[in-house]
Amino acid sequence: MLQIRDPYKTTHPETAYQTDDLSIFLNIRGNNEYVKVSYPVKYGIFSRLETREMILEFNLNHEIKHARSKTRHWLHPSEWLKRTVGNDWIYYSSGGYSGVVEAIGEYYLPNFMYATNSLLGGKPFEFPVIADLCSSWQDMMAGIPGALPDMPDPIADWLEKAKSIHGPDLEKKADHLFDISGARATVLPPDARHSDYNLIPLTIADGCLYKCRFCKVKNKKPFTPRSRTDIQQQIQALKLLYGPDLINYNALFLGEHDALCAPKDLILFAANQSHDAFGFAHSFMKTPRMYLFGSVDSLLNADMTLFEALNRLPFDTYINIGLESHDQATLDRIGKPITAEKVSLAFDRMGEINQTFPKIEMTGNFIMDDHLPPTHIQSMLDLVRDRISRPVPKGSIYLSPLRFGKPSREVLYDFYRLKTASRLPMFLYIIQRL
Ligand code: SF4
């Protein structure tokens, strides 16, 4: 029989405790690869506490990670709540599976507590069973008796630690995370879905080049790369903050809005230092990934040697470029200070890089809105349909609705029309923060 070696057997032994009303399993092995499947999958090594009413899952820092009620009021047995490292709760809904995977490339639809640009989903946080679980899981934990006479020591110890971490502690930790990089990342690249947004944020440059009028996620900082010393300090602080749970991570987000514009040596320095310091080579999760944003100008100015070097890194690298529109009238209307001609050149360069480098995927964003000039959609089709001779599986295009909190049937209809015509994979971009 084939014996599968478990390198975590000694450091993270699986331990269980069960009574009629309570079960605790420590160090459960979840999936070690991110997958796209139509049933619930949990990733990494984690622990689970289950009562008659609820299932709570914790990371290796004893911090809550997932929650689900077992009562009949819960919306669907295969849906769950996830708490992010930024201390947001996200409700993963199956959306009945119809259309979700076509629209976002994932089987589960993330629903947020904050306003975003999603065209899909409902308002799960308005259901008391969901809102209550987010706010009162700790009260329920407090009601669980501590060390019972027959409880093994590791279980009793774990329970005491898990019960000692309260809401304000989690909030404080998230604030500390934002302080390390200088600010909360207001938007993560859409490609981060390939790691279920479980990533470590490292800021290598602040701000962006354009300060576009339409943009809701920009800040006032002028584009400024960080120093190597600053990057090293962030890495050390992040290592401490992620702590024992670091082995569940293998994805890096190089922030902020235009890391591609940073000097080539700085990008490579940050990637290599992070890979070593965070121990990605020994992570429980396989296939390290790196995500960054880029702009049209940073892409056009980047030397091909940068991409050659990125392709040699131990990461699969995803670079997301804000193209927004291939139509000059639209670019002018949204206040994006670039030309349609440059967008066209950037689009071609993305295709060239995608064809040349197997470990790099360049992806692009276009905006969507029902108040844009009709030439916007036609000019987008000129690129994603007419400029490519046959369908290609690499180089996803993300369509980002301009308005927050205003789902629109017309925009959704346009999306499906464009998706059908596109020769590149096309998905909706749901803006998610750290
Ligand atoms: S779209 Fe990108 S470049 Fe424009 S303001 Fe927003 S972050 Fe900056």
The tokens describing 259, both together, are 């890391």
Cis bond before residue 256 (omega within 30° of 0): yes
Tokens 């640009």 correspond to 117
Asked whether residue 2 carries a pLDDT value surpassing 60, the answer given is no
User: Residue 1: pLDDT band by 50, 70, 90 thresholds?
Assistant: low
The tens digit of pLDDT for each residue in 348-373 reads: 999 999 999 999 999 999 999 989 99
The tens digit of pLDDT for each residue in 161-218 reads: 999 999 999 999 999 999 999 999 999 999 999 999 999 999 999 999 999 999 988 8
Closest ligand 1 atom to Cα of 256: 7
For residues 147 and 172, give the distance between their C-alpha atoms in angstroms, rounded to a whole number.
28
Q: Taking Cα atoms as reference points, which of 275, 434, 431, 302 lies closest to residue 368?
A: 431
Q: What is the pLDDT of residue 118?
A: 84
Q: State in Å: Cα 343 to ligand 1 middle.
A: 14
Domain boundaries, the chain: 15-165, 168-428
Q: State in Å: Cα 352 to ligand 1 middle.
A: 24
Q: What is the pLDDT of residue 31?
A: 97
The DSSP line for 82-135 is: EE-TTS-EEEEE-GGGTTHHHHHSSSSEEEESS----SS---GGGSHHHHHHHH
Closest ligand 1 atom to Cα of 211: 5
210 C-beta closer than 6 A to ligand 1:
yes
Residue of 209, 210, 429 to mutate, ligand 1, most atoms within 8 A of C-beta: 210
The tens digit of pLDDT for each residue in 58-89 reads: 999 999 999 999 999 999 999 999 999 999 99
Asked whether residue 98 carries a pLDDT value surpassing 60, the answer given is yes
Which of the listed ranges 20-29, 94-103, 142-151 does the model predict with the highest average pLDDT?
A: 20-29
Q: State in Å: Cα 290 to ligand 1 middle.
A: 20
Q: What is the pLDDT of residue 237?
A: 98
322 C-beta closer than 6 A to ligand 1:
yes
Integer angstrom CA distances of residue 183 from 108, 203, 370:
28, 9, 32
CATH architecture of 168-428: Alpha-Beta Horseshoe (3.80)
Q: Once rounded to an integer, what is the mean pLDDT over residues 388-394?
A: 94
Q: State in Å: Cα 139 to ligand 1 middle.
A: 42
298 C-beta closer than 6 A to ligand 1:
no
Q: What is the pLDDT of residue 238?
A: 98
Q: State in Å: Cα 118 to ligand 1 middle.
A: 19
334 C-beta closer than 6 A to ligand 1:
no
Residue of 187, 203, 211, 367 to mutate, ligand 1, most atoms within 8 A of C-beta: 211
Residue with CA closest to ligand 1 atom 4: 212
Q: What is the pLDDT of residue 229?
A: 98
Contacts for 298-305: CB closer than 8 Å, 24+ residues apart: 298/209, 298/258, 298/260, 298/261, 299/260, 299/346, 299/349, 299/350, 299/362, 300/342, 300/345, 300/346, 300/349, 301/261, 302/260, 302/264, 303/264, 305/264
Residues of the chain with pLDDT > 90: what percent?
87
Q: Once rounded to an integer, what is the mean pLDDT over residues 118-141?
A: 91
For residues 47 and 62, give the distance between their C-alpha atoms in angstroms, rounded to a whole number.
8
Q: State in Å: Cα 53 to ligand 1 middle.
A: 45
If DSSP codes are grouped into helix, strand and coil, which group holds residue 46? strand
